[in-house]
Amino acid sequence: MAILESGTVVAVATPEGEGGLAVVRLSGPEALAVARRLLSAGALADPVDSHRARLALVRWPARADTGGPEPGTPLDQALVLPMLAPASYTGEDTVEFFCHGGLMPARQIAAACRAAGARGALPGEFTRRAFLNGRLSLVQAEAVAELIAAEHAAGARAALAQLTGGLNRQLAAVEGPLRDLLARIEGALEFSEEDAVGPSREDVATTLRAARRQIDDLLDLAPAGRLLRDGVQVVLVGAPNVGKSSLFNALLGADRALVDPEAGTTRDVVTAPLELDGVLFVLHDTAGLRDRAVGVEAKGVARTRETVAGADLVLALRPVTDRAQPAPALGDAPAGCPVLPVWTKGDLDPAATGMVTSSRTGQGIEALRRALLDHARAGGVAAAVARGVILNQRHQDRLLACRETIDQLLEDPGAGDEVAATLLAATLQELGAITGRVFTEQLLGEIFSRFCVGK
């Protein structure tokens, strides 16, 4: 892995697929020079006023190295923000372009920068540079990665809390008593001749059990961490024509899926994000389940089953007009995955009771949204946000390893004090590696591998 590259690099720094403002980041020793080639003389005149944005017309450079548009072609009216080293994200001279026109002009500006001498940034390169220039600690770097992954408010809040030490605090609470215990055991081992008495088996077991409970508590937040990062996966299933696509659209408040009186309209899974109260949901509209499906429809049904297998919550839809209809068969839902029965087309039977919705009148849609949120909270999302802890796979693996060691010590009567002390010390080392107090090289790779392009 070539971790470090030199030169001046450029990339679009806002996530793909996001509307609104797009940012192009240009960073490196030549950043100012490259930017000047795209701007009218004087727009970035020396001495450059750092951290003051100015509106400027960005053009294709006059003497571009390679093809592209005519030299001097206007690209976008952008806010140009120069930031001089070391007071920038990367710690290098940086120029950021805020394009009003969204992604297309942003890409063009990045291309123009490349034509003017910059190089496209490699994945994670800005963050790596920031890191190498001492602008980010390891934990911060990781939290930034979380932040980038969490494009919605709740995830971002938890990631931000992490940045300010949520996880560190929780781990410190686990470590403190273990460290204390270790010191007492060690004392008795080294100074047994001099009357030193170590903790009793009871003491040891009590402390270990308490630590284990705390680790369990933290691990309980792991699923919430995933929900926060990747969103709550909500899958709409039901017989053909029950109104799945209509409800999908109603929940989103936008027409994303095709609706038709014909049964079997939806043939493949349609997916769309929905943010409610800062929590990210990912809705999946599916092909209607029917027993005797053939051809394309059969494939659609197979895809439905796959989607159900990855669900955090299944909405099982039936129309109020046919209350005798059996609930959809959900053999593929993950064990423990909650299934919420939802009645559709409520407008056709005003007497219906239960979670009744109507995509036509909007009846029950708000209630269903609230039900989704309640579900997410039950999944620990609120607790994770409150405690400022998002566990990623690495955290989980290490915590599991620690728990395993503690279990081994609790269960193994043959493990003497010297074994307990040695394994405890190794466990504390592991815990330290979570917060980056203890450095492992893998950590570096793990963290950097999680940055997406240009961040």
Ligand X SMILES: Nc1nc2c(ncn2[C@@H]2O[C@H](COP(=O)(O)OP(=O)(O)OP(=O)(O)O)[C@@H](O)[C@H]2O)c(=O)[nH]1
Minimum gap (Å) between residue 247 Cβ and ligand X:
7
Which CB sits closer to Mg ion, 121 or 311?
Answer: 311
Beta-carbon contacts of residue 261 (< 8 Å; ≥ 6 apart): 241
436 belongs to the binding site for other proteins (CB under 8 A) = yes
Minimum gap (Å) between residue 288 Cβ and ligand X:
3
What crossing angle do the helices spanning 201-230 and 393-411 adopt, rounded to 10°? 160
332 binds, among ligand X, Mg ion, other proteins, none (CB under 5 to 8 A by kind): none
What crossing angle do the helices spanning 393-411 and 417-435 adopt, rounded to 10°? 170
Which CB sits closer to ligand X, 177 or 264?
Answer: 264
Site string for Mg ion, 219-258 (x = CB under 5 A): -------------------------xx-------------
Question: With CB under 8 A, what is the number of residues at the site for other proteins?
Answer: 49
105 binds, among other proteins, Mg ion, ligand X, none (CB under 5 to 8 A by kind): none
Q: Using the rule CB under 8 A, give the single segment among 261-269, 276-284, 323-331, 429-437 that binds other proteins.
A: 429-437
Which CB sits closer to other proteins, 37 or 398?
Answer: 398
441 binds, among Mg ion, other proteins, ligand X, none (CB under 5 to 8 A by kind): other proteins
160 binds, among other proteins, Mg ion, ligand X, none (CB under 5 to 8 A by kind): none
Minimum gap (Å) between residue 257 Cβ and ligand X:
7
Residue whose tokens read 């990062």: 229
Q: What are phi and psi of 118, to 5 degrees?
A: -85, 165
Which CB sits closer to other proteins, 23 or 130?
Answer: 130
Given a contact cutoff of 8 angstroms between Cβ atoms, the answer to whether 39 and 79 are in contact is no
199 belongs to the binding site for other proteins (CB under 8 A) = no
Cα 297 from Cα 291, distance rounded (Å)? 11
Q: Structure tokens of 177?
A: 């008593």
Dihedral in degrees, nearest 10, Cα atoms 381, 386, 390, 391: -90
Given a contact cutoff of 8 angstroms between Cβ atoms, the answer to whether 289 and 301 are in contact is yes
192 belongs to the binding site for other proteins (CB under 8 A) = yes
Site string for Mg ion, 99-128 (x = CB under 5 A): ------------------------------
302 belongs to the binding site for other proteins (CB under 8 A) = no
Minimum gap (Å) between residue 393 Cβ and other proteins:
16
Question: Which residues in the 252-291 window bind Mg ion by CB under 5 A?
Answer: 265-266
Q: Which of 138, 219, 382, 453 binds other proteins (CB under 8 A)?
A: 138
Characterize the bridge pairing of strands 339-344 and 313-319.
parallel
Minimum gap (Å) between residue 266 Cβ and Mg ion:
3
Question: Which residues in the 52-81 window bind other proteins by CB under 8 A?
Answer: none
Q: Which residues bind ligand X (CB under 6 A)?
A: 238, 240-246, 259-261, 263-266, 288, 344-345, 347-348, 358-360
88 binds, among other proteins, ligand X, Mg ion, none (CB under 5 to 8 A by kind): none
Question: Which residues in the 394-413 window bind other proteins by CB under 8 A?
Answer: 401, 405, 408, 413
For other proteins, the binding residues (CB under 8 A) are: 2-4, 86, 91, 128, 131-138, 186, 189-190, 192-195, 401, 405, 408, 413-419, 421-423, 425-427, 429-430, 433, 436-444
